[in-house]
Structure 1
Amino acid sequence: MSAGTIKDFRDGCRDAIPICLGYVAVSFAFGIESSKIGMSVFEAVMTSLLNVTSAGQFSALDVIARNGSYIELIMLQIVINLRYSLMSTALSQKLDTHLGTLHRMGISYGVTDEIFGVSILKQGTLYPMYSYGLIVTSVFGWVLGTGLGATAGAIMPARIISCLGLAIYGMFVAIIIPDTRTSKAVMYVVISAMTLSTLFTYAPLVKEISSGFRIIIVTVVVAALAAIIAPVKEESHE
């Protein structure tokens, strides 16, 4: 199978422009947060370049700040990023069965929620060159925003940095609120996660559990309850 043409690469770059712009805003917040725990601009940029996962990177900051264990960090990333395995499986169905391993590995590097959404909606076969265009443009925005945020965090006064750090909370609120209005199941999941997080923060004994393991426990428990109580119904086909 052909890897695609230069035109496919250009099309990927074009389709990724909205993703790139969105990533700059979100990764700027990550850069700010990374500077608050003492990471250098280079460390923050390399973290974004090598990971490309917003939730995974943000959740890792606290573990890094308190010198948590590698085991905790690894388990945290596996739980938070497990969805990418499902996305990769779905994307593989759009690839030619004879596509080489190197191209598959290259595409897998850039499997994010947004890139997956654009890729899965593309009509016809998914060519590696198109995926590379998506990845290059999107990751550029992610790394650029991180660098700008980390640089700003290194030179701005602490008071302003604290204010800018609130951007991450606004981002997550903007993500979850629309879905809670249209789905009771999502609303219950959000409320359950908030309740458990509060419990683990203030309740005796369990509050001693590190933040990384709190996220792991809350994620697994809430996801399991949601799967049992409100499973996704399969569409019936006549």
Structure 2
Amino acid sequence: MKHNGIAFKNGLKDGIPIGLGYLAVSFTFGIMAAGAGLSPWQSVLMSFTNLTSAGQFAALGIIQAGSSYMEMAVTQFIINLRYCLMSCSLSQKLEEQTPFHHRLFVGYGVTDEIFGVSVCKPGKLNPFYSYGLISVAVPGWTLGTLLGAVSGSLLPGRVLSALNVALYGMFLAVIIPPARKSKVLAGVILVSMACSLLITFIPVLNTISSGFKIILLTILIAGAAAYFFPVRDSEEVPNE
């Protein structure tokens, strides 16, 4: 129990930057949700149950277009399919005897940033560490949505534009520190960025949805890195 409490506190501490970043970004979503005709309560409920900026912004467009539930479901499935890969990866960091309900709750909170922080944690992943991250990130995302839905129209356009790039700055803060410690990881990140830029301009490939692009690049680049630069169990550092 004491070990779980320490892991939870560490998660809370590491989740503060994520929560602050989510607070800024979801503010913009709240504004757009209100503009799409959603009430503050509906906007907050969407943020609390989805935790995916790309999926939520896409959902607003579908709602405004009056499309069917089936189109909404298919769109969300494609956009958020990458979280299946992230969840599979995190499941390998959990102890084999980790109960199903812990895996289920950890899966609920998988986002790009939470995944990035969790996967960089040395050793096995304690579910309570993930709970600490989620306990800060989810309130930050939902509170920002509420504030944007209620009062976002009061802010000038320049401030809203600045809030839009906060998420990207936060993600850079997640990947840069571990990349500075590992040349292999730094190389994988640079190759991923280059391939992501390249695939945007290649005919046919640039028509693939963002969700499938991420999955394709993840499988190819991560698979190649795992084959050429395998990480042995002895190289892992025990969890603190």
In the superposition, the TM-score normalised over structure 1's length comes to: 0.74
Q: Which runs of 5+ in 1 are unaligned?
A: 198-216
Aligned ranges 1:104-183 → 2 under 5 Å = 104-153=103-152, 156=154, 166=161, 183=193
User: Conserved in 2, the CA contact under 8 Å of 1:29 and 1:168?
Assistant: yes
Which has the larger displacement, 4-13 or 139-148? 4-13
CA distance in structure 1 between the aligned counterparts of 2:53 and 2:91, rounded to whole angstroms: 23
Do structure 1's residue 190 and structure 2's residue 190 form an aligned pair?
no
Do structure 1's residue 236 and structure 2's residue 228 form an aligned pair?
yes
Aligned ranges 1:91-102 → 2 under 5 Å = 91-102=90-101
CA distance in structure 2 between the aligned counterparts of 1:11 and 1:230, rounded to whole angstroms: 30
CA distance in structure 2 between the aligned counterparts of 1:47 and 1:15, rounded to whole angstroms: 25
Which residue of structure 2 aligns with residue 83 of structure 1?
A: 82
Look up the equivalent residue of 2:107 and give its one-letter code.
S
Deviation at residue 156 of structure 1 after TM alignment: 3.8
Q: Percent identity over the alignment?
A: 40
CA distance in structure 2 between the aligned counterparts of 1:81 and 1:167, rounded to whole angstroms: 25
Give the total of aligned pairs: 212
User: Conserved in 2, the CA contact under 8 Å of 1:6 and 1:129?
Assistant: yes
Cα deviations across residues 11-45 of structure 1 (Å, max 9, x unaligned)?
A: 11001011011111110110011011111111111
Deviation at residue 107 of structure 1 after TM alignment: 0.5
CA distance in structure 2 between the aligned counterparts of 1:135 and 1:88, rounded to whole angstroms: 14
User: Conserved in 2, the CA contact under 8 Å of 1:11 and 1:133?
Assistant: yes
Q: Tell which structure's C-alpha radius of gyration is larger.
A: 1
Change over 3 Å in CA distance of 1:156–1:7 after alignment to 2: same
Change over 3 Å in CA distance of 1:56–1:132 after alignment to 2: same
User: Conserved in 2, the CA contact under 8 Å of 1:31 and 1:145?
Assistant: yes
Task: Report the RMSD for the aligned CA atoms in angstroms.
Answer: 3.7
CA distance in structure 1 between the aligned counterparts of 2:164 and 2:124, rounded to whole angstroms: 38
Change over 3 Å in CA distance of 1:63–1:110 after alignment to 2: same
Which residue of structure 2 aligns with residue 210 of structure 1?
A: none
CA distance in structure 2 between the aligned counterparts of 1:220 and 1:101, rounded to whole angstroms: 27
Cα deviations across residues 97-120 of structure 1 (Å, max 9, x unaligned)?
A: 111111111111100011011111
Deviation at residue 233 of structure 1 after TM alignment: 3.7
Deviation at residue 68 of structure 1 after TM alignment: 1.1
Cα deviations across residues 191-216 of structure 1 (Å, max 9, x unaligned)?
A: 359x967xxxxxxxxxxxxxxxxxxx
CA distance in structure 2 between the aligned counterparts of 1:33 and 1:113, rounded to whole angstroms: 22
Look up the equivalent residue of 1:32 and give its one-letter code.
I
Change over 3 Å in CA distance of 1:101–1:17 after alignment to 2: same
SS of equivalent residue, structure 1 residue 124:
coil
Which residue of structure 2 aligns with residue 35 of structure 1?
A: 34
CA distance in structure 2 between the aligned counterparts of 1:115 and 1:221, rounded to whole angstroms: 20
Q: Which runs of 5+ in 2 are unaligned?
A: 173-188, 231-240
Deviation at residue 165 of structure 1 after TM alignment: 6.1
In the superposition, the TM-score normalised over structure 2's length comes to: 0.73
CA distance in structure 2 between the aligned counterparts of 1:120 and 1:17, rounded to whole angstroms: 17
